[in-house]
Structure formats: C-alpha cells, structure tokens
Chain A
C-alpha cells in the first residue's frame, strides 16, 4: 500500500544523473527543467556532503523553464541554453539532463541534441525526470546515456591499456566516501597488476569513459552497477564480477583472489600483494588490542546505510572485529532479487546472534527501528544523530547525508578503508563521555572531575 516517506535520503533521478556528471572532469551538465531542480540538487545533495564541484552545485547551467515553456514547449529555450553554456563554460562533454516538467510536456530532446551535434558541440542527453525513480535510477540512466551516446562523438587516439577494468556501482555523493572508496579499490587492483578505470573523481575525464568498451572486466560494487554492466556485456561482451558490497578489510583480499583467478593473473604476485596488505593491517589490529578491550569495542551495533555499505561494513565489523550486528537497515530500495540475497547473507552474520535486516528509507520508521534495537553503538547518517543521542550511545556518521565532517579522501573500502573505519569507530568510542571507562580513567589521571 502507498504510504508517505518521512525525510527520504534518496533524492530524484535528475539528481542522480547530476551526481554522475559532476563527478567527471570536463563534463558539464545542462539541466532542462524548472529552476528549483538545480537549486534543490545543491541544497539537498552537494551542500550536505561538503564541497562543490568545479561546475555544478549552485553554479549550474539550467534552462529554468516557466509556464510559457510548458504550454508552448521548451525546446527552443534548451537550444538557447545549450548555446550559451558552450560559450561560457569550456567542457569536453555537455550532458543535457531533463526534469519532470519538460518530460511531461514531451520536449523533443533528441532533436535539440542533434542540433547541438550539427554545430559540432560534444553533447549527449539523458532523460532523467524524477518520476522515473530515485537517485539510483538517475545514476543508471546517466551511465546508460554515456555508454550509448559517447561512441557517436568519435574517439581520440589513445594508446591501448593493458589489464583495464571498469569500476561500477559506487554512486558519487550518495556514497559520501565515493572518491576515497574508488581510489582504494583502484590501488588494490593496481597491486595485482591491473589498470583500474575509476571513471569518477580526480583525474577522471572523457578519455576514461571512451576506454570503457576496452575493459577486460567490469567490477560491480553495488546492485546499482548491475544495469550498466549488463548493457556493456550486451554491447561489447565484457564480463562482470559482482562484489555485492563494499570490500572492507579481509573481503578485499577475497575479491582480489577472485579477480586474479577469473582473469588468470600472476597468482604469486596477487598472493604476495594480498599478504603484504594483510600483514600491515594485522599489525594495526594488534596495536589496537589493548584499546579494544579497555574501550569495549565488542558491543551490539545498529547500522543504517545503502546496501553496498551495510553488507561490506557489517561483515567487517562482525567477522573481523567481533562486534554483534543487532539491526541492519538498508535505505536504497534495492530490487527484489538483491533483497533476497542480502537477507540470506546478513541475517546470520554471527553464529547464535540473529540479525534483523530491514529495508526502508522512512526516517520515522528507521528511528523507531534504531530505538527499539537499543544497541550500544549506532552507525548511520546525520538523520540518526537524534535517536543515537536519545539512546546515549556512541554514534558514527557514515552514510548519506553527512553533517559532522568534511570528506575529501576518506573511504572505508579495502584495507586502508578498514583502518579508517577503525579510527572513526575508535574515536567515537573513546570520546563517549557517558560510558567510556578509558575516558573516565584518563580524566581522573589528569585530575579532572
């Protein structure tokens, strides 16, 4: 039955598409919609995750259509906006993205796109009205447009790249640590002799996207990378490997061995690399041991986040650290087939400790679930801050939206990400003034009351 959603953390398809375009260097979005769509994207997404993009956020090209464009059609307004954008902003690729109003009216976007092409503008378009779905659909629609239309623009001569693999399924900004996560996955792949095609973030531009068809393999981190991977398989026969979650800590090693076997890479090199990574991480775990006991790391936790985050982080926290997963709340509305897989994988993470797994994006429902789970650690988004405070338990913000920290390079993927997660978790436990024996002891030693 239909019901209202309180404070959803999933914005609309147009925003998902913008998040894709803004995360690629040299790509310039042109929004064909009402003025509020661009503003809402800035206020509801960019500003919440600290920082703006080179071209995007509050300074975004938008046709800002009004009633007369709805009545008489807004195609000519888009034509004008595209021309102006090309004059003012230098870009390698201009991407027209549409909102609800212009799609309802039925503006002929392909015709305007063709006009732009006829004038030698490097332009493509994606139909991304919010009524087609949420931010995750927008991510998929924008990538589909890139895969389908970028080849029409021709390809600059590029030297062939050996062992190229594309990384799909990390939605920029919807995963607040998208850039750090991509970089760490890239570092791991390099470690076993592959060339990662990160596609998003620093240094990632049109040439990487033009190389997408040349990849040996598509690595799919979340369910949101499935559709693009299937499209690439259909068009170019590229196989894909689904990680079904962020590889955190030991999971990264398993994933590297799997790829190594699949692509028949040098197994000794892979083993050597994974072992060196694990030794480094094990040394950190050993250094943590004393604090682990004193600060009471082992406790029940509630985790709220997107499916890829929840799967990867809960497996790491329970499998490696021995924390007890009480309640896991998945907020990105994964499709039915993925839900079943997640349920069977996450409900029995620890023997003898049943874990409750819920799918919801409703703020009130999530708060109620967190409250009734009453775990002694809450990991979630800024929206869970209040209920964590109510429970008087340590709280770590790690899913969208974040409000209490600036994210530039931080990520939770891989071995390095696992270290970062330990640091963040440890800091939250150590700074818990109400219950932390370590804090009380050191305060006493310092003569504080």
Chain B
C-alpha cells in the first residue's frame, strides 16, 4: 500500500470543538491556493469537516452511501470545494447506535479499494479525525499505511491537553510498527496570557513541539458564518497568513517524533503546578524568571 501512496498523508486530531475542522479546512484551502491538489477526508460521524470548504452545501457521506447502494463511486461521495479541494466525509451511525470506530475503518478501506489516491493523484491528503482516540477505530488513520504524520490541535484548556496526551499514547503505540509519527502540535485559540507558555511547557514535557500558534480571531468566526474558510473570505487578513504559514510548514518540513506521553498521575501533577502558576499570575504574585 505504501509504495502506491500518492502525496503526503496527514492526520489531524484534537478534542471535540477545539477547532480541528476549521484549522484543517483552512490549511487545505491554503495548500490548494498555493497550487496543490488536496483531498480532505472528514473522519467524524458528525460529518461537518469540510462544510466551510463547500459553502455549507450537503455532501452524502461514504457510509450513508454504502448503506444505501452496494456499489459506490468516488463521484457519489465527494464534492469539489474551494480551490479544487476534493471533500469527502466518512460519516457514521446516529449517536448511541452502532460502532463509529468500525465506520471509519470501513470508509477508509473503501476509499483505498476505489483507488482514490492513485486516480486523483493528490499532493496532500488531510484526515480530520474526531475528538479523543477512544478506541481502535479512531486510531485507523494513524495505523500502518494510512497517514505518515499526525498533528494535534489543542488549546490551553486541560481537557484539550488531556486529549492531546491520549493521542500521543496512541502514536507511541503504533509508530514503532510503522504507524504515523507526530508532526507537531498546533496551538489554537491562543488568547489567555498564559496559553502559549502552558502549551509550550506541555510539549516540552512530552518531547514534542508547537508548529504554529493560531490566535483566537473574529475573522474566523465571521468566515465560518458565511460557510467559508478565512483563506476564501479574508485572503489578505493576518489570520489567513497564520494558516498559510501552517500549510507552508506541512509542505516544507518533514520533521516527526514519537512523543513521550505523560501517565495519569504525571499529567495531573503537571496540571496542578499550572493551576498554581495561573492563580499566582491572577493574584499578582511575582516570581523570578517567570515567563508568563
């Protein structure tokens, strides 16, 4: 499978609601804008990964189509979005029923069987994978032969860091047997004064690094309301440049690591020290060499 692989395959993970789909779509748009052939595959039963690339139009998911017809063609389950990005949504069962993890497995397998990558010949394939790596199914994109690198989107919220740490555990497990390695951390919604330092400290602790800081931005919210990426709606904005820089990083940099996730007690201890530090900042305690 890997010898036939076309383009760079990148999986993007992160806690639900953290801005994975927005970040991924903007990176896809920036790569397409720079002239690359891009496929973005939403691996989430919510199936809204590619919405802002497609102007908010509906797209039948791979699994829904598979359920209704025995033979599925790429045209049935894909739409061409901004800049020619080929948009695909894996889809999944309704909440509380069936097995979404197996769904992702089945959808990714089908796309491979349909020779999507050989025929479309993409330069980049971006997998936008849902929230936490709760079971084997959600780890499919980082297992052997699918994505080469995974990136994780996180904010400075503890639960987002927790989800990132879980992804590190999954990568740690699969990378030695040929699975994806970690490309880096994308710090999103950076707003609080301590956010940057907190994420930096976490990456330092886990042997990883931040590849880009995406500030919290009104431009993003407004573009989303129009059903567009920032690249499309506000191509000249500073925020668009932030995404372009991320896209450029993905394009030019091949660095990857096997992260060293913190175990449960370590992560709690780490979080508690940050709780104390933030409290001191808020209450005006000044410490020597304090960076935040």
Contacts and interface: CB of A to CB of B under 8 A. Distances in A.
Contacts of B93: 71-73
A156 interface: no
A350 to B, nearest CB: 54
Contact of B63 (A71, A73, A108): A71
A71 to B, nearest CB: 4
Interface stretch (B94-102, B171-179, B234-242): B94-102
A75 interface: yes
A144 to B, nearest CB: 26
Main secondary structure of the interface of A (DSSP, over half): helix
Nearest to A69: B98
The residue in B93, B99, B102, B103 that gathers the most chain A C-beta atoms within 10 A of its C-beta is: B99
Name the residue among A70, A71, A74 with the largest chain B CB count within 10 angstroms. A71
Contacts of B99: 70-71, 73, 104-106
Contact of A70 (B66, B94, B102): B102
Name the residue in B94, B98, B102 with the highest tally of chain A Cβ atoms < 10 Å from its Cβ: B98
Given A68-B66, A68-B67, A75 B97 contact: yes
Contacts of B67: 68, 71-72
A106 B93 CA distance: 13
B97 A67 contact: no
A73 B106 contact: no
Contacts of A108: 97
Contacts of B92: 71
Of A72, A73, A105, chain B has the most CB atoms within 10 Å of the CB of A72
Contacts of A67: 102, 106
B77 to A, nearest CB: 15
Nearest to B100: A71
A108 B63 CA distance: 21
Contacts of A73: 93, 97-99
A71 B109 CA distance: 13
Contacts of A104: 99
Nearest to B93: A72
Interface in B137-153: none
B71 to A, nearest CB: 14
Contacts of B102: 67, 70-71, 105
Nearest to A104: B99
Nearest to B92: A71
Given A71-B63, A73-B93, A105 B98 contact: yes
Contacts of B66: 68
Interface in B45-94: 63, 66-67, 92-94
A104 B103 CA distance: 13
Interface string B98-141: 11101100100000000000000000000000000000000000
14 contacts: A67-B106, A70-B98, A71-B67, A71-B92, A71-B99, A72-B67, A72-B94, A72-B97, A73-B97, A73-B98, A75-B97, A104-B99, A105-B99, A108-B97
Given A68-B66, A72-B93, 13 more contacts: A67-B102, A67-B106, A68-B67, A69-B98, A70-B98, A71-B67, A71-B99, A71-B100, A71-B102, A71-B103, A72-B97, A75-B97, A105-B99
